Chains A and B, each alone.
Chain A
């Protein structure tokens, strides 16, 4: 069984005893970003201390060492999601990954009579890039209806899909409601109708075992910083059968074999074709350490631990009067709530005054309030270093809250 107190010894944000508003920090905003273990920091420092140089640029040893690190990281990413190594493209994060799908694939392969299926619970990063595609080529965006709970179900995908649907683009886990979507079945439905499935894995890949072959997705996007890695690094998995259909969005250094004055260019094959410019080398090297760290703990253990902690949190939250939970039955460690009569941001500010970090607002899913019937919510999101004690502190502060505007007058 995973011991979070032992795990906390690996994290400077715990070992440095960080305080917020004079109180011990309770970090419950892991869907935004996560803490980094010492090993990730050390890997980055080692790169700058011992082998600073660029990738695929020279004949000298330092440069070679960087190439080896990038290759090893790519191999590890591939192992982590059960992909082939060349199917894993490094990006700056989920947002850029999805923009490569929209600008590099959708704009080139869709036409005005086509349809794209998304849902109203998608994050801005999995909505706005599709809006741009629709605006540019005149195709339609259709929405998969959410069921009563707020879930995307295969049944509702079947209702929304048509022969015109070319892409189904949804998150495996909603960043607000935390429901696990049956991506495997939805990929099957998409393929049966001649569409592809682009999966936003930002909130799922960090928390559970991912197998792109089993899920049968065509694209998968995720970010390193939500899984103990550095900011500014992400991955776009592309099924290899689609390599020739994805054009580079950025071109320049490192992505071409040769070019001539008459604009004749030969690009490398994927992934290098889609990685123009110097990569975020420190980020990729740090990401490797993060992946090693997660794999050592085991993704199944992480998933199991988070689910148990979520159950504990839900039971305790029910002790608090006047709390509305929007996603009691969700599978992922995301709990979205409001306190009756208290504005979400005011509750967030009150919790800040107690040293507790949560996210408030619309969480970048700005179409979802249409479904939730509230302009803003408070989101608690867990990771494997959170403890029952964190939950207890959160609950006790909610119970003894008194007036939630007091944070302004203390």
Chain B
């Protein structure tokens, strides 16, 4: 954990995103968005991730549904990180996040607040909660490539 970030701050970041998720909304012009419905078998998570894609770039990203503290905060933070990024950049961020979750070496510089989930692997049953939104976006990007 970086010296600048103590457990209280990490907790606060998660609670802020849980209580006030900035990107939790259904887009008004939802038909223009690519979307993926994800649900978990061991938690209540049942979410849809939306991405507005233009020229291989994520112009907008948001999500809706029912989700626990961890999946709410992690999906919300993910949205904040990928908006405005092209697919390669977004994929790089997702990869670094997954490396971190798996306790592999990762590039912290692109994860910003997402590093609050660095110890999730200690609670293995909750890894799915911390990755569900990220997995959705990764699949959206993958599907977009394949549709082309």
B137 proximal to A (CB < 8 A):
no
A195 at the interface (CB under 8 A from B): no
Establish whether residues A361 and B44, one from each chain, have CB atoms under 8 Å apart when the complex forms.
yes
Chain A 331-362 interface mask (CB, 8 Å, partner B; 1/0): 00000000000011110110011000000111
Minimum Cβ distance to chain B for residue A345 (Å) = 5
Indicate with 1 or 0, residue by residue over B3-45, a CB within 8 angstroms of chain A CB atoms.
0000100110011000000000000000000000000001110
Contact, CB under 8 Å: A407 / B69 = no
Among B54-62, B83-91, B105-113, B115-123, the stretch in contact with A: B115-123
Q: Contacts A349-B123, A352-B125, A376-B44; is A409 near B11 (CB within 8 Å)?
A: yes
Q: Which single member of B44, B68, B122 contacts A408 (CB below 8 Å)?
A: B122
Q: How many residues of B contact A (CB 8 A)?
A: 22
Q: With a CB–CB cut-off of 8 A, which chain A residues contact B117?
A: 408
Whether a CB of chain B sits under 8 angstroms from the CB of A396 is no
- A-side interface residues toward B, CB under 8 Å? 21, 343-346, 348-349, 352-353, 360-362, 375-376, 403, 405-410
**Residues on the A chain within 8 Å of B70, using CB:** 345-346, 408
B52 at the interface (CB under 8 A from A): no
- Does B126 count as interface, using CB distance less than 8 angstroms? yes
Other-chain contact of A349, B1, B15, B66, B126 (Cβ < 8 Å): B126
What CA separation (Å) do A362 and B10 show in the bound complex? 28
Contact: B119 with A353, CB < 8 Å? no
* CB proximity of B10 to chain A, nearest CB, Å: 6
- Report Cα–Cα, A36/B14, bound state, in Å: 40
A335 to B43, CA, bound (A): 19
- Pick the residue among A345, A376, A406 that contacts B7 (CB under 8 A): A406
A291 to B122, CA, bound (A): 38
Bound together, the chains give a CA A368 to CA B70 distance in angstroms of 23
**Which residues from chain A contact B10 at a C-beta distance below 8 Å?**
408-409
Decide if A405 touches B122 in the complex (CB within 8 Å): no
Bound: A21/B125 CA distance, A: 12
> Chain A residues near B7 (CB, 8 Å)?
406, 409
When the two chains form their complex, are residues B15 and A405 in contact, meaning their CB atoms are under 8 A apart? yes
